[in-house]
Chains A and B, each alone.
Chain A
């Protein structure tokens, strides 16, 4: 018994079609396997806290020339009571590499311990590696509360 002759060889139009369909199908299935996996790796975005203001401290809580970290939305923020008794509020996230800054009562400035960055009380980056100033917030004293509000 002789085998039937195979009518087309590789490179001929019919074979090319088969290769194209096979390859295309394979590529499509690879993409459909990997696309969900890659999307899975990236977590869904969490909605930013919409609250524009927060009670950062009580009026008698902070002594002069001290600072306090408080929670503002999902990020830490810094409330400073200056030597002359005024309040300042800024984000506590260093603009260099994301560390949390603190108030230095010896320097009367805001300091980042990670890479020795310094900011003044207006949030301006004065020395060290920080590239940008800290965002500042408004502070109001309402009765017993020190309220910090995001600037409009």
Chain B
């Protein structure tokens, strides 16, 4: 087996220098310390993304993106097609778990200060990926064309529309007209299965290349302890040692996905009706809840500004600052942490959790 592998590698190496690819894979090591568990969440997010890709392709075999057919095609898929319910439920559950692990990954990178020099661009590409993932969530949510999705899309696109100057243009661009109609569904379908996957795959390649090139970051606290001799530097090769550990996690994740899909199959709801009132208790997906709740609390006017506009500006500004964090957190360095930025992170997590909880109450 090993001989065959060697021979194959030699053959490829003679053609295009495959040895350098193997070298590229092998040069990364994983630092082993008390925070090492957080290193698993990036790989887990990647795995769930691949699950999304595969189940998404399967859903495409039956889904029809028109207002007359969309709901019925999903209904047909989950009631008539063998294992259709499973594929759709896994796609929905995996989407939600992926957003969750992406957030965990992002916050762990934030608190362990892994965005500090030279990894600023890895952070920026990761944040862009997170926005794309949320775009996937928002566009995919509409595709079954049910009541909840219909109103969530109305509200979401209307928020984009209230931005001064370009708002109207963005609203028409997103909706494919003045109102949320079949035109919107067609567009969201295109975004969800073509535009966003292309952007995500490109950015993902960049993100992974940067991670591979720069190696894993050791948290400043651990770095300091090693320099001061309080802790020993320990490492593990990424390939194959850490990757095999990753794969155990992925295998478990598949089990969890299957169990969730079987025990809690994803609801389809009722078909969207443009001439029905928004149902009581309507709310967006959990990862938008903190923004949703903030919008509920904002009064119609704050001084002379529309409340919702203030909310949108607030969140956009916060997101921009968050993306720019590696460039703002300048005093961070080898073995040194910055308490102010850690505090800001705690505040952000606290805000998101409290407002999400208030929305669920």
Contact = CB atoms under 8 A, between A and B. Distances in A.
Contact of B154 (A41, A43, A99, A129): A99
B155 A99 contact: yes
Nearest to B152: A114
Interface stretch (B197-205, B219-227, B270-278): B270-278
Interface stretch (B72-80, B106-114, B293-301): B293-301
Nearest to A102: B277
A42 B299 CA distance: 33
Contacts of A91: none
Contacts of B169: 42
Contacts of B281: 113
Interface in A63-93: 69-71, 74-76, 78, 92
Given A42-B172, A70-B275, A100 B300 contact: no
A100 B299 CA distance: 19
A113 B280 contact: yes
B164 interface: no
A97 interface: yes
A41 B173 contact: yes
B246 interface: no
A71 B275 CA distance: 7
Contacts of A129: 295-296, 298-300, 307-308
B329 interface: no
B177 A115 contact: no
Contacts of B278: 99-102, 112-114
Interface string A40-51: 011100100000
B97 interface: no
Contacts of B155: 97-99, 114-115
Contact of B295 (A46, A76, A115): A115
A96 interface: yes
A131 B307 CA distance: 8
Nearest to B183: A43
Q: How large is the interface on A (under 10, 10 to 19, 20 to 34, 35 or more residues)?
A: 20 to 34
Nearest to A42: B172
Given A113-B279, A129-B307, A75 B151 contact: no
Contact of A43 (B177, B277, B296, B301): B177
Contacts of B274: 76
Interface residues of B, number: 34
B315 to A, nearest CB: 14
Task: Tell which of A41, A43, A71 has the most Cβ of chain B within 10 Å.
Answer: A43
A100 B276 contact: yes
Nearest to B181: A74
A98 B300 contact: no
A67 B301 CA distance: 29
Contacts of A71: 275
Interface in A96-118: 96-102, 112-116
B179 A75 contact: yes
Nearest to B306: A131
A91 to B, nearest CB: 12
Interface string B139-170: 00000000000010011011100100000010
B249 interface: no
A97 to B, nearest CB: 4
Of A41, A75, A129, most buried by chain B (CB within 10 Å of CB) is A129
A51 to B, nearest CB: 16
Given A97-B308, A131-B300, A76 B183 contact: no
Name, among A74, A98, A100, the residue most crowded by chain B CB atoms within 10 Å (CB to CB): A98
A43 B176 contact: yes
Nearest to A74: B179
B285 interface: no
A125 interface: yes
B231 interface: no
Given A99-B154, A129-B308, A42 B282 contact: no
Contacts of B282: 99, 113-114
Counting chain A CB atoms within 10 Å of each CB, the highest count among B169, B183, B274 belongs to B274
11 contacts: A42-B169, A69-B277, A70-B275, A76-B274, A97-B155, A97-B159, A97-B295, A99-B151, A99-B278, A100-B151, A115-B296
Interface of B: 151, 154-155, 157-159, 162, 169, 172-173, 176-179, 183, 274-282, 292, 295-296, 298-301, 306-308
Given A43-B177, A97-B159, 12 more contacts: A42-B173, A46-B178, A69-B277, A74-B178, A74-B179, A76-B277, A97-B154, A98-B155, A99-B278, A101-B277, A116-B296, A129-B298
